[in-house]
Structure 1
Amino acid sequence: MHRKTLLSAAIVSCLAFSAHAQEAAPTATDLDTVVVTGIRGSMEKSLDTKREANARVEVVTAEDVGKLPAHNVADTLQRLPGVNISSSSADEGGFDEADRVSLRGTSPSLTQTLINGHTVGSADWFVLSQAGNVGRSVSYSLLPSELVSSVEVNKSSQAKLMDGGTTGTVNIITRKPLQFAKQFTAEASIGAVRSDQAESTDPQLSALFNYKNEDGTFGVMVQGFSQKRELRREAQEFPGGWFKMGRNADGTVNALGQSNPDLLDVWAPSLLGSTLFEQTRERKGGLVEIQFKPNDDLTLGVSGFSSKLDANNYNRNFMLWGGNFANSQAPQAGYVVKDGVLTNATYAGVAGTNYGVYDMIYRESSAKTNYLTFDADWQINDSLTSRFQAGSTKGEGKTARQYIAEVTLANGGGASWSTHGNSSPTDWSLGGDLSPSGVTSFGTWGNQQIVAEDKEKWATLDFNQYMDTGVLSSLDFGLRFAKHSREAMSPEGASPGDIWSDLQNGATANYPSGFASGIGGNFPRNLWYFTPGALKEAITNNSTWLSNNDGPTGRHNYGSEWKVEEKNLAAYVQANFTGDNWAGNIGLRYVSVNQDIDSYRAVSNAANADVSSLFGMWEALAYSNTHRRLLPSANFKFDLAENLVFRVAASQTQTLPDYSALGASASGSDLDKTGSAGNPNLKPVVSTNFDANVEWYFMPRGLLSFGVFSMNMKDYVAYGTEKQMLFSELTNQLEQYEISLPTNANAQVQGLEVAYQQPIGEYFGIDANYTYSDGSTSHTWADGSNNLLGNSKDTYNVGAYFENDTFGARVGYTYRSSFLIGLSSVNPYYQDSFGTVSVSLNYKATDWLSFSLDALNLNDPTYKYYQSSAIPVAFYNNGRQYYLNARIKF
């Protein structure tokens, strides 16, 4: 079935789209053609779509996107009930823009993201997300809001929906050329973004052109965007985590533990940093859609999309090096131990001991994604329709070069710190010479290229058979085949020469004035660093880059390489029912997945090695898995009264484990002898879901709803630890590491959702929603908890708007309570609760010219991370962002 709507889409970042006749990908809804304009009209249209759907669906229309302070699709979705957003996917910390979407307090990997009903290859700019913590979620940083006609969030499953979203599916629907109201449409936007902390103003440009012939049988749409933004994040980090004092690497009590037994097994910071991160993000790309109708019964389409994010970044971390002295040197008298933590300590300077270490890391990074699809919609006869689609998609994340300097300093200067738990930054200081002349040693590490590829080819064939047999209204059935691969590669790197002779005379600069004033604390701020140009030049001129060399002199890091390939065959049948004051569907989806997993294991001698390089000798490993499953689903809607709807849904859903959880080779850090590895024997997560909801549409644009949900997940993926032998670059031999390893466990989530939306008079309105999600797992983490990854117990949104024919304004506040992020070293760590304030202002000067001003993160939040109430992990501040745009349409 198809639905036709007219959407007026004023896209925030650049475009104000005029009303179009929109034909979306097949959904569970049939609607008459209506005209919607402005915030109020689009909100009413979203509620109409939600109300008429047979399943549990949340909808944002294009006009909603255009009048919200949103600059990618994830920012758009965060105001919906049950939707959580996060700004990172691995250990890169908190940023100012949403990057991941999840549903109902679960991990982003359990939420599937589609565009027009098909997958999109994902990519990340951050090196640890490229080859380390690689999930099944999609990076929304590559998806500007200009793409959107509407977004549907499916909270309950249907057999005809693609499998893969345990907790739900987000479907981003783009515009189609034959659905525009006019024969010619041209729109453009010129604007700028001001990042107050980066003290930078950068251009934001986009344009759209659409043509369709008079007969409405041929059309072409072209969209383009070019958006630049400077980021500056100021932080305090504990990048090495915390360690327990008084023991040797083998667990025996050392001299400190013997002389100071009150410090035995007390936590102390391994590294404690004053951190400055700067990045330039340039996002460019576009969308091309072509449609052709050779006759009234057949529509052919070709769609191509490409988006690339250049994301070069420079991270400086000036650190107190507790791991170098606090396990062998006793603090001065007067130190304080509280809750198992050395909270206050002062260390006298000892000649020959470096109390500080300074990392400067400049990375040339990028991420890109694209897809190409061909589809055909054929009305075979009066009662049978079909849709065919074939396509391919590819995402690539790449760190082409890393320029890294690590220097030691504060020789004999001593150190001190005073913690304040996870509520505020730790006060700390170093003595001695902290200038470039005080550097005592130089090193470089990790100058290694990382490439991640995410690819899929697919074909789908769907049918809808109209049935005139009483309550059975129609039958949906179809097939889908896909071949997907995710691969991490590290084929080349740099063998360093005498870099320091050049670098020590290189250009330097200083941390910005007022650095870290947004997060507070008393720690070093007036710091120097080598400029990116000086760092890059010294390393480039004094290093030898070795590529694709499998021999012992090469820099091919097999230990960072792995590949997961999956072939997915699915078939489904779904019966759709319609009765007096009720409707629904019952379906069954069969899924067969074949997995091939390739990785490497470090070995100690050449006889057992398949490949070797400067990173050691490696044995190639190959595994195969087969998973077959029937996934039932049922959705029913009952009209209890004219404006009162009751819904109930039940289903089983499945998500395969994260790619890195399956395939990642064991790798570790020489700093603390910890690391991570994959587990190719993991089973898919299978969830049994129940959903019930009551919706009262008490007036136009008015809604009060209450719902409950539960998800019982079998073979949920958690993380334990075990000892493994890995190759150490420092000792050039195998060493014992404590490795975090994924494992299957059971988990459950129960919760409720409340949503309220109401106009006040003709021009004003308010909306609010609240989600409670209580998740737990049978797995016990190292801190003794049974927390679920990504589970925030409380999420809520509060908003208000005003709109007349000339002026529009909207303000919103979004809150998310604390949740488990993952592991820091081998210890669980959390992101603290946070809230953000955003405002959008719009002014319509003429029918063809309008202006908008959007302000994000107006409350200037500090994102806090912690291991426990007494042990902080990081404090991040990104500042505010302001977007000003002039939009023109013809």
Structure 2
Amino acid sequence: MKNFKPSLIRAALMTSGFAFGASPALAQEAATDQAASDVEVIQVSGIRASLQKSQAIKMSETSIVEVVTAEDIGKLPDSSIAESIARLPGLAAQRLDGRASSISIRGLGENFSAATFNGREQVSLGDNRGVEFDVYPSEIMNEVVVYKTPEASLMTQGIGGTIDMRTVKPLRHGEQTMSVTLRGENNDIGKLNPDGEDTGWRGSFAYIDQFKDDTVGVAFAYAHMQSPNNEERFNTWGWPDGTIGGMKPFVRSAELTRDTFMGVLEFIPSDNLQINIDALYIDFKDEQLLRGPEIPAAWGDAGITVDSTNQGFSQTGTIGSDGSPVGVVIRNDVTNREADLTALGFNLQYDINDSWSMEFDAAYSKVERQTWSLEAYAGSGRGPANRLPESIDFTFADDNQSVDLDPDLNYGDPNVIQLGNPQAWGWGNLLDPNSDLDQDGFINTPTVDDELTTLKVAATKVMESGIISSVEFGAYYSDRTKEKKDSGYYLTLPGSLDENGNVDGYQLAIPDEYRVPNVSLDFIGFGEMVAFDSFRFWQDGNYREYDSAITDPGRSQNTWTVDETVLTAYVKANIEGELGDIPVRGNAGVQVVQIDQSSDGFTSRRLADRTLDINPVSGGDKFTEILPSVNLIFDVAEDQLVRMGVARTMSRSRMDRMNASSGELGFNEQVGIWSGGIANPELRPIMSDQFDLTYENYFHEEGYVALAYFYKSLSDWQLNVPTLVDTSDLTPPDGFDPAPIGVLSSWENVGDGKVSGFEFSLSLTGGMFSEALEGFGGIFSATFLDSSIEFDLEVPTDTSGGVSTQSYEITVPGLSDEVYNATVYYERDGFEARVSYRSRSNFYGEVSGLSLVRQPVDVFGSDLVDAQISYDFSESDIEALHGLTLTLQAQNLTDEPFVTGHSTDSPLNVRDVQRFGRNYLFGASYQF
């Protein structure tokens, strides 16, 4: 039998002290140690060392993976985990507030992939399972491994893949190390709000040591980040018949503050016992100031005059007139989000004898998140009857991604713009249900608690002969509870209501103690607008608060608890043999997964006095899925591999879709029918039967080429499906005919589909071609994707009960047809420089909408360029500076905007344009 022979890459890395972390490939290390002793080692550092390590892990894994590793302690190649991951072949990131956050794998977004920390499933800050990767600082990570194909011992899976973030192992690190990093940060778009920031800083400290004859290892890291972010934003309500319906341009200033503590204890009291304990705590705060005008147009009561058009879209004209004032709402909004994440893990591995070993793992993680999202309104008068004359001339850019406004009113004059409700946004307070002028602001205050406990017991039996080298089997248990409480309050100025709850034309001049300097909106030609500290104004009790849950059924519908218990039994056979003269290795196994899911929520029914009758409701389901998997690696030539994977995997449902809460039927005046939503706590996972085929050629210790094809056959897809109901006994609003048929929508497992694609990746080093090019190199990848989901729905054809069955085809959310990544670098004699490029085509993404509810949108493609230079004084003749590295980073060098559309059918159908400017970071790190 032919045994697998480690390449120069793996052997060289083992002699340099590198360890491969907690991966299924660990069983191969003993063989590698022996081979390493006969290899001449060429010492490299920085990005070249990182690429070698990543390449070695990729080569040794039995699953198809992508890897990014730290260049040094606390130094991943980028300033965030998300940016590093997004550069890997087949992966792409969606930006959130200018930062890479959610990750898609092979076109499947965050809700179709799993994220783990040291191999353990993680709770999340959001309303669902998707992890926001910018929460995790790069300074505490040693490596990130992305599993594109599953195997039976991988407990947390998704149809897209699994992203495992790993910390350092102090005993495998092998030496005492202390590292200190300090960086300053500047956002070159400037401080767009007078009370915002455009400078910040980041710092970290890491300590690794070994004691008791290398039987006890400790690692500790602390990282602090205070990162500014500013944004010029142009937002449209929509384009009815090509005419602007309304717009909401504003400037945003944000500061993300994050403190992270990480600790690892590794204890090996004997040759056959190993204990690992790790802990992580993250304190996360995101404070955002948003100021700008909300301008009704075609969908407002002032009307609009269009003078010229561009491809059917209004380009120039006037909103409002002297006799029909616009009613601009001057917004001073604040969003503050605070969260605490705690994760604890305990792992014990015990070798019973040469043939048997066992593992026990226990973990606990929890997130507590609180959000305050405040809207504060001001204008030239309360309601249409009291507004000052105002009109605004507009000229849109040719691409509709910006506008130039020429208002005839001075919105920066505090004598003109005062607190109040210029648009007659009324919620109907309980004293006067017919009032329509009493909403002077609103605040959303949702909370999310997410708690997860996992246990794993496993054993491995080493076989003495035969094609099966070992067998792994075990059981995994997880218990997760996620709770969301959605609350919000209408805000009314106390002086606007009389003793009967009636509203007059009351306005309040902004008190001087809350005023801040005016905000410039010159980027849209609007001039200045008044600004004040609305959050402190609210905190000081200057508004009356009315609980929106009394009259808004959406609050109870969006309040829920989901409990999920998962029990997984698995067995995996590790394979090492030959097929003819070709060595073959890999694994084959199966998981049997039993899921018990339940949800508690509420149903609501509107009463005659406009209040709601709210009652608790529960639901759930219990079911079992069988997930087989096979991964085979054929060593077709020296350092050339052909990988094949066949598997069935699943992505458990989003939690907000599993909730038991239901809403009531409401009359939709736009289409003249009753509509509403019902819950489905019995929603099943999305399934995928997948095939993967990859060719990898590791032609150099710093170079490889890979070609991959994959196909995923999807079933049990989730869609929000309408169901027709009899509404003939319901009375519509005045002026509308009775509608005998209504629509209740719920998430259902409907439709089948596929995702397929090709991936190409290449890593090169200049030294392969010429000594003159030593130090130069590049990493390149391209991904080409195709997807479709097909389903049939019964839809109404009229309001009299007519229906028809129609067939539909959609693309998978989060999928870009084309994704490109490229990094070109130079590293020699302590100097390092690199330029990175990321590109993706249009895709269907998600953003926060009204009341912070996640809203699907069409996202236009983007091209991002980052750069970095550094110098390591350890390569210099200045001995006193050895250990010091200076680094300069530049992000978003081309100032690429984030653009979404109401539809991508026309590039002019723009919904939102966010421009963030460039971020520059300069700092120093010192390693002892």
User: Aligned pair in 2 of structure 1 residues 719, 417: CA closer, same or farther (>3 Å)?
Assistant: farther
Q: 1:766 aligns with which of 767, 770, 778?
A: 778
Q: In structure 1, what is the equivalent of residue 22 of structure 2? A: 25
User: Aligned pair in 2 of structure 1 residues 300, 138: CA closer, same or farther (>3 Å)?
Assistant: same
- SS of 1:385's equivalent in the other structure is strand
1:48 aligns with 2:56: yes
Judge which range, 304-313 or 398-407, deviates more: 398-407
What is the identity, as a one-letter code, of the residue corresponding to 1:717? Q
1:829 aligns with 2:857: yes
User: Aligned pair in 2 of structure 1 residues 354, 694: CA closer, same or farther (>3 Å)?
Assistant: same
Structure 1 residue 665 displacement after superposition: 4.3
- SS of 2:162's equivalent in the other structure is strand
1:757 aligns with 2:757: no
User: Aligned pair in 2 of structure 1 residues 842, 515: CA closer, same or farther (>3 Å)?
Assistant: farther
Q: In structure 2, what is the equivalent of residue 311 of structure 1? A: 286
Q: In structure 1, what is the equivalent of residue 922 of structure 2? A: 884
Q: In structure 2, what is the equivalent of residue 11 of structure 1? A: none
User: Aligned pair in 2 of structure 1 residues 484, 298: CA closer, same or farther (>3 Å)?
Assistant: same
Q: In structure 1, what is the equivalent of residue 165 of structure 2? A: 172
Structure 1 residue 152 displacement after superposition: 0.8
Structure 1 residue 510 displacement after superposition: 5.5
8 Å contact from structure 2 (residues 563, 599) kept in 1: yes
Deviations 1:447-466, CA, capped at 9 Å, x for gaps: 24211111101101122211
Structure 1 residue 269 displacement after superposition: 3.7
Q: In structure 1, what is the equivalent of residue 265 of structure 2? A: 290
What is the identity, as a one-letter code, of the residue corresponding to 1:26? S
Cα distance in 2 for residues equivalent to 1:206 and 1:839: 22
- SS of 2:146's equivalent in the other structure is strand
Q: In structure 1, what is the equivalent of residue 802 of structure 2? A: none
8 Å contact from structure 2 (residues 448, 482) kept in 1: yes
8 Å contact from structure 1 (residues 403, 535) kept in 2: no
Q: In structure 1, what is the equivalent of residue 109 of structure 2? A: 107
1:842 aligns with 2:870: yes
Cα distance in 2 for residues equivalent to 1:671 and 1:852: 57
Judge which range, 746-755 or 185-194, deviates more: 185-194
1:807 aligns with 2:831: yes
1:852 aligns with 2:887: yes
1:467 aligns with 2:463: yes
User: Aligned pair in 2 of structure 1 residues 185, 822: CA closer, same or farther (>3 Å)?
Assistant: closer
What is the identity, as a one-letter code, of the residue corresponding to 2:541? N
Structure 1 residue 498 displacement after superposition: 2.0
1:700 aligns with 2:701: yes
Cα distance in 2 for residues equivalent to 1:287 and 1:585: 34
Q: In structure 2, what is the equivalent of residue 249 of structure 1? A: none
- SS of 2:717's equivalent in the other structure is strand
Spell out the pairing of 1:344-493 with structure 2 (5 A cutoff).
345-349=317-321, 351=323, 353-400=325-372, 402=374, 404-405=376-377, 407=379, 411-419=388-396, 424-432=401-409, 434=411, 435-439=413-417, 441-442=420-421, 443-490=439-486, 493=489
User: Aligned pair in 2 of structure 1 residues 433, 573: CA closer, same or farther (>3 Å)?
Assistant: same
Structure 1 residue 38 displacement after superposition: 2.4
Judge which range, 879-888 or 62-71, deviates more: 62-71
Q: In structure 2, what is the equivalent of residue 194 of structure 1? A: 186
User: Aligned pair in 2 of structure 1 residues 332, 225: CA closer, same or farther (>3 Å)?
Assistant: closer
1:639 aligns with 2:635: yes
Residue ranges of structure 2 left out of the alignment (5+ in a row) = 1-5, 37-42, 192-197, 382-386, 422-438, 496-506, 728-732, 768-773, 796-806, 875-881
8 Å contact from structure 1 (residues 854, 884) kept in 2: yes
Structure 1 residue 343 displacement after superposition: 5.4
Q: 1:818 aligns with which of 817, 821, 842?
A: 842
Deviations 1:794-848, CA, capped at 9 Å, x for gaps: 0011111111132111111110111012597999631111011111212111332
8 Å contact from structure 2 (residues 415, 509) kept in 1: no
8 Å contact from structure 2 (residues 263, 278) kept in 1: yes
User: Aligned pair in 2 of structure 1 residues 375, 502: CA closer, same or farther (>3 Å)?
Assistant: farther
Cα distance in 1 for residues equivalent to 2:108 and 2:207: 39
Q: 1:39 aligns with which of 47, 53, 57?
A: 47
8 Å contact from structure 2 (residues 246, 300) kept in 1: no
1:58 aligns with 2:60: no
Q: In structure 2, what is the equivalent of residue 70 of structure 1? A: 78
Judge which range, 275-284 or 673-682, deviates more: 673-682
1:619 aligns with 2:621: no
What is the identity, as a one-letter code, of the residue corresponding to 1:849? L
Structure 1 residue 115 displacement after superposition: 0.7
Spell out the pairing of 1:653-732 with structure 2 (5 A cutoff).
653-663=649-659, 665=661, 679-719=680-720
Q: In structure 1, what is the equivalent of residue 195 of structure 2? A: none
Deviations 1:711-737, CA, capped at 9 Å, x for gaps: 111122234567999xxxx99xxx999
User: Aligned pair in 2 of structure 1 residues 861, 65: CA closer, same or farther (>3 Å)?
Assistant: farther
8 Å contact from structure 1 (residues 865, 874) kept in 2: yes
Q: How many residues align?
A: 815
Greater Rg by CA:
2
Cα distance in 2 for residues equivalent to 1:749 and 1:206: 41
Judge which range, 344-353 or 268-277, deviates more: 344-353
8 Å contact from structure 1 (residues 405, 535) kept in 2: no
Spell out the pairing of 1:232-243 with structure 2 (5 A cutoff).
232-238=230-236, 240-242=237-239
Cα distance in 2 for residues equivalent to 1:804 and 1:816: 32
Cα distance in 2 for residues equivalent to 1:177 and 1:52: 22
What is the identity, as a one-letter code, of the residue corresponding to 1:582? V
Structure 1 residue 492 displacement after superposition: 7.3
Structure 1 residue 542 displacement after superposition: 2.1
RMSD of the TM alignment (CA)? 3.7
8 Å contact from structure 1 (residues 510, 526) kept in 2: no
When the two structures are superposed, what TM-score results if normalisation uses the length of structure 1? Answer: 0.84
When the two structures are superposed, what TM-score results if normalisation uses the length of structure 2? Answer: 0.80
What is the identity, as a one-letter code, of the residue corresponding to 1:710? Y
Cα distance in 2 for residues equivalent to 1:827 and 1:267: 22
User: Aligned pair in 2 of structure 1 residues 660, 430: CA closer, same or farther (>3 Å)?
Assistant: farther
Structure 1 residue 185 displacement after superposition: 2.4
User: Aligned pair in 2 of structure 1 residues 7, 458: CA closer, same or farther (>3 Å)?
Assistant: farther
What is the identity, as a one-letter code, of the residue corresponding to 1:205? G
Cα distance in 2 for residues equivalent to 1:319 and 1:722: 36
Q: 2:94 aligns with which of 52, 76, 86?
A: 86
Cα distance in 2 for residues equivalent to 1:317 and 1:664: 38
User: Aligned pair in 2 of structure 1 residues 462, 529: CA closer, same or farther (>3 Å)?
Assistant: farther
8 Å contact from structure 2 (residues 551, 612) kept in 1: no
Cα distance in 2 for residues equivalent to 1:142 and 1:348: 45
Cα distance in 2 for residues equivalent to 1:703 and 1:202: 39
Q: In structure 1, what is the equivalent of residue 434 of structure 2? A: none
Cα distance in 2 for residues equivalent to 1:492 and 1:398: 13
Deviations 1:717-764, CA, capped at 9 Å, x for gaps: 234567999xxxx99xxx999987544332311110001111102211
User: Aligned pair in 2 of structure 1 residues 347, 61: CA closer, same or farther (>3 Å)?
Assistant: closer
What is the identity, as a one-letter code, of the residue corresponding to 2:644? V
8 Å contact from structure 2 (residues 347, 360) kept in 1: yes
Cα distance in 1 for residues equivalent to 2:490 and 2:172: 53
Cα distance in 1 for residues equivalent to 2:49 and 2:752: 44
Deviations 1:488-526, CA, capped at 9 Å, x for gaps: 11467576442753636565446665854xxxxxx3432
8 Å contact from structure 2 (residues 442, 488) kept in 1: no
Structure 1 residue 348 displacement after superposition: 4.9
Whose RCO is larger (CA < 8 A, sep 6+)? 1
Structure 1 residue 789 displacement after superposition: 0.6
Residue ranges of structure 1 left out of the alignment (5+ in a row) = 9-17, 89-94, 125-133, 245-265, 517-522, 607-611
Cα distance in 1 for residues equivalent to 2:110 and 2:337: 23
Deviations 1:119-156, CA, capped at 9 Å, x for gaps: 122114xxxxxxxxx33210112101112111111101
Cα distance in 1 for residues equivalent to 2:280 and 2:11: 23
Cα distance in 2 for residues equivalent to 1:701 and 1:116: 27
Q: In structure 2, what is the equivalent of residue 210 of structure 1? A: 208
